[in-house]
């Protein structure tokens, strides 16, 4: 019997499906389908979604109706309409979110994987990851609970999300990890210094960079709190919670804009090209694949258009952002216990 191996992940860009459904007014299916079709036409082979990426799921108001499975319903409808595209992409889905937080118990893993699989053709999907680690369950036990679903063919492999370097090592010692999804952008560079990037490089694990556009801020389109819908979940995050925060981080937009002007590119293209550029230096970094979201085919195509940065430009931009103080945490204080798990 051959040894298990990770699921191959290819880039240079993936597509994050979260924002198609986690918004006060979800994107119409036909519009979302056009964006996914564009991604595939542009050569994107990695899609990332979530069992709990539904309507109002992150809204703290208990009186607001929450519909958690809208992302899965969208994915199901897409592959029903375009079955020929299922074999063209690797789909990674986050799950294991219970009523009171992450649930990585054997029962929680079983419930989540089987529920997610029910939305896919033949009740099978590619990669499973817990959205956040469950502090009551060791990562070793979580991985062991997932392995039987690989052995029976329900999934092909395991990914990790929002984890620290030690967790990655411990998980990889139990079973090959196909990729690690962590936040990386021009205003969220933690993984360059906390050991996550170095560990993934050492173990040969690709990094999936979520929120590579700073949840939209790095596009330069969010200049005011009022640019966000009052029900937008981002308003609860430190960097979007006040006009003071939005204004305080404007200098990073100014820095990106200088490169964008020189390259005749958009701010988003520069921000994404910086993330992709790590893969150009395999002697130092692991493969890094950004997964920007986009609500239209046009925006998706813009995101997939790589702008070549020279080594000098990459280093200059890296030095600018890593030495720049960012106002506010990546999330908000209430989310801190579930970060870097």
The residues carrying an active-site annotation are 53
Q: Pick from 88, 75, 159: which is nearest to 121 by CA? A: 75
Give the number of other Cβ atoms within 10 Å of residue 22's Cβ. Answer: 23
d(CA 292, CA 277): 15
Q: Coil, strand or helix: which one is 210?
A: strand
Counting every residue written for the chain, the total comes to 341
Write the DSSP assignment of 217-232 as a string of letters: GGGT---SGGGS-TT-
Q: Coil, strand or helix: which one is 286?
A: coil
H or E element that contains 318: helix 311-322
Q: Pick from 258, 298, 290, 287: which is nearest to 274 by CA? A: 290
Q: Tell me which residue has tokens 């964008």.
A: 260
SS3 annotation, 116-138: HHCCCHHHCCCEEEECCCCCCCC
CB 15 within 8 A of CB 295: no
CB 190 within 8 A of CB 211: no
d(CA 59, CA 176): 35
- Report phi then psi at 14, rounded to 5: -110, -170
Q: Which residues of 319-328 are buried (b: 16+ CB within 10 A; e: fewer)?
A: ebbeeeebbb
């Amino acid at each position: 019997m051959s040894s298990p191996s990770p699921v191959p992940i290819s880039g240079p860009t993936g597509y994050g499906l979260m924002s198609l459904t986690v918004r006060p007014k979800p994107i119409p299916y036909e519009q979302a389908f056009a964006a996914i079709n564009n991604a595939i036409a542009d050569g994107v082979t990695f899609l990332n979604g979530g069992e709990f990426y539904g309507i109002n799921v992150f809204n703290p108001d208990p009186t607001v109706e929450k519909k958690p499975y809208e992302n899965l319903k969208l994915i199901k409808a897409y592959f029903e309409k375009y079955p020929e595209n299922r074999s063209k992409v690797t789909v990674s889905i986050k799950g294991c979110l219970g009523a009171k937080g992450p649930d990585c118990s054997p029962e929680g893993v079983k419930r989540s994987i089987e529920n997610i699989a029910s939305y896919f053709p033949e009740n099978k999907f590619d990669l499973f990851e817990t959205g956040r680690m469950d502090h009551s369950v060791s990562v070793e036990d979580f991985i062991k609970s997932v392995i039987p679903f690989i052995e029976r063919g329900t999934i092909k492999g395991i990914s990790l999300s929002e984890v620290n370097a030690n967790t990655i090592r411990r998980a990889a010692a139990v079973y090959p990890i196909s990729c690690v999804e962590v936040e990386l952008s021009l205003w969220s560079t933690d993984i360059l210094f906390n050991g996550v990037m170095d560990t993934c490089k050492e173990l040969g694990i690709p990094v999936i960079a979520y929120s590579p556009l700073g949840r939209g801020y790095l596009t330069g389109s969010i200049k005011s709190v009022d640019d966000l819908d009052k029900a937008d979940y981002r308003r609860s995050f430190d960097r979007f919670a006040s006009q003071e925060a939005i204004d305080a981080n404007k200098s990073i937009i100014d820095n990106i804009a200088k490169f964008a002007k020189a390259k005749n590119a958009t701010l988003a293209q520069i921000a994404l090209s910086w993330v992709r550029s790590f893969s150009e230096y395999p002697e130092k970094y692991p493969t890094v694949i950004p997964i920007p979201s986009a609500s239209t085919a046009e925006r998706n195509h813009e995101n997939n258009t790589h702008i070549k940065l020279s080594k000098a430009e990459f280093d200059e931009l890296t030095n600018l952002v890593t030495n720049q103080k960012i106002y506010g945490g990546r999330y908000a204080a209430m989310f801190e216990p579930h970060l870097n798990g």
